[in-house]
Homo-oligomer: A and B are copies of this chain.
């Protein structure tokens, strides 16, 4: 089993980062604008649809909320979406270091190191920088206003 790992540091109290990870408004402001569902309740399912800048639908991820520990940890499991994602778990572990909220990110449980995993790894970095921007400046870059990293919208 293979994991995608990342870390960003956000100049912020932990509570602000936790809010951006656990409210519909927060998630919609850094990951994907049309985020729907129940993000702040264990057992809830969050629907994350993505589109190209021209409006074309690209797909979605549905995540079940498995753990919510305020200011400390969020854990989701993918219950629907691309077949390579289903069953993988996405976690955000938070800790304060000086003025910074450190976010340790993991998407665990990829079965094969397919090209799509390479793409998603880079894309997660871009979205985590969007989370950092949102919390630090009030403005993130959620889909469909995100950075195209590959010349392909997928």
Residues of A within 8 A of B (CB): 2-11, 97-100, 102, 104-106, 113, 115, 117-119, 121-122, 125-126, 128-129, 132, 147, 149-152
SS class, residues of chain A in contact with chain B:
mixed
| Residues A8 and B100 in contact, CB atoms below 8 Å apart | no
Determine how many copies of this chain the complex contains: 2
Give chain B nearest CB distance to A92 CB in angstroms. Answer: 12
**Can you add 12 more A-B contacts, CB < 8 Å, to A98-B151, A100-B150?**
A3-B113, A5-B117, A6-B121, A7-B119, A8-B149, A9-B152, A10-B151, A105-B118, A121-B125, A122-B125, A122-B129, A132-B149
| Residues A122 and B3 in contact, CB atoms below 8 Å apart | no
